[in-house]
Amino acid sequence: MKVIIFAVWIIGIIVANVHAKPTAVVFTKDPEAKFLNLERLPDETEGHAINASRKARGLVLMGNGARWSNGIVPYQFGSGYTTQLQADVVTRMRKIENLVAINNARCIQFRPRVSTDLYYITIQNGTGCSARLGQSTGNVTLQSPGCSDDGRTFHELLHALGKSEMKERECLFHEQSRSDRGLYVKVYPENMQTGADQQYLIYENPMADMLNSSYDYSSVMHYAKYDFSSNGKPTMEPIQSNIKIGQRYNLSNGDIQLIRRYYNCSSNGPTLPPFTIPIEPAYPSMLLSTYSSELTNQNLMYNRNGSSLPNFYYEVINVTVPAAGSYIFQCYSNIDTFGYIYNQAFYPLSPAMNLINAFDDENIERWEFSFMLTFNSPDTSLLVVTTYNPNMTGSFLIAAILLSPLPPPRRQQQRQQAALLPPLPPPRRQQQRQQAALLPPLPPPRRQQQRQQAALLPPLPPPRQQQAALLPPLPPPRQQQAALLPPLPPPR
């Protein structure tokens, strides 16, 4: 009984009670064969790795040649590159510098060419993706569009960091050319285009040195399953199940360690100039916020849903959206991440409970999750960030983007629209009253008007009899007048 109570108590501690009911829309993966490898074949004018009839990486081909002096690679741009394309390539150079630096101490550095440079690379906009191996005066071809993304630029610049002329120099080349590759992948030459088999040659010691590194499926130098296929069938497959190959978006941890060992890097070198790796979301103008963290061996572990293996580090993140709408969540990392969305609570001991959906890769070349959620109102959801393979650690960043806000409910929308519209006119009777109040008063009725006018006029003369009373008396009649006259004198 005590054991049961203790288990319930532990579950209660790690459960996050968050109420959210979003509708998840999954980004569907593109078919693997859809992605065309534009890295050029050696039977063309310039091969993918030029001046190297035999090549290797993961893996360094050994010889008497020197690395780029002090890890500094001068560069210039050829024709065909706009100012913006040049800025994009330089940003990717800065990314490589910062990824391989140890405590910001310079390991390798790309800088513009000066007149005294004997060796330098020329970056040009040509056909396909190709690079001359190692310290030399040669071209790095990055076709735009087609090869002007992060992963392909990284791939070709890593070739440029290596060496050419196999028996006399060293070179960084492809992961599948390691002497131990037979333990990790199967290669099918019968499915390859003519000349492509040169990219899959195996190199044995002492010609090749793997620098004590393990086989790296996630290397940016590893080819994908269908690269250079002539018939739509795989040219190479991992022997182990649930393994992915051919990413083209970042340097793996193995790539970083190999470059550090190859150039004998330490934390005592010159300090790199300040640089912030930019976030490049799908819709930069609508970027709302970012969240950065790191999976370490201090994180809790669990058996993630969908995998039969144990020991996956994870982190639970509360995602709160400020308004209704469709949101995109993009992950950026140099580890292969995996995301899960839960609508109420996350139970590590029952990872399928309350699960809305799971999100793996954006596509076969970009092994970071990217998904869209639609919220009908401001709300909170749970995002569990873990990894594709167990026991993996590393930093990650998640960018939240508001793709399109949802219109408010109809009644609220009507209220908002009404608030923006001019007020409706009053009812007709009220309108008539308001108009009447603004008009001059109507003239009084005719009889009242006559009375008012009469009151303003001088009084009418009295009736005739009344006028006679006011007149002096009329003289008496003639006879009466005669009586009033003095008597006439007697006749003469």
By annotation, the residues acting in catalysis are 156
Determine if the peptide bond prior to 206 is cis (ω within 30°).
yes
Dump the DSSP string for 215-283: P-TT-TTS--TTTTBSSSS-SEEESSTT------SS--HHHHHHHHHHTT--TTSPBPPP--PPP--SS
CA–CA gap between residue 263 and residue 253 (Å, rounded): 16
Distances (CA, A) of 428 to 41, 59, 359, 421: 84, 89, 61, 20
Is 222 annotated as a binding-site member? no
Do 134 and 170 touch, CB atoms closer than 8 A? yes
Flag whether 19 is marked binding: no
Residue 144 token pair:
């735009």
CB 386 within 8 A of CB 325: no
Q: What is the DSSP letter of 213?
A: P
Give the whole-angstrom CA distance, residue 133 versus residue 145.
23
Please tell me what DSSP assigns to residue 55.
-
Q: What is the distance between the terminal CA atoms of the chain, rounded to a whole angstrom?
A: 178
Feature table: binding site for Zn(2+): 155, 159, 174
Feature table: binding site: 155, 159, 174
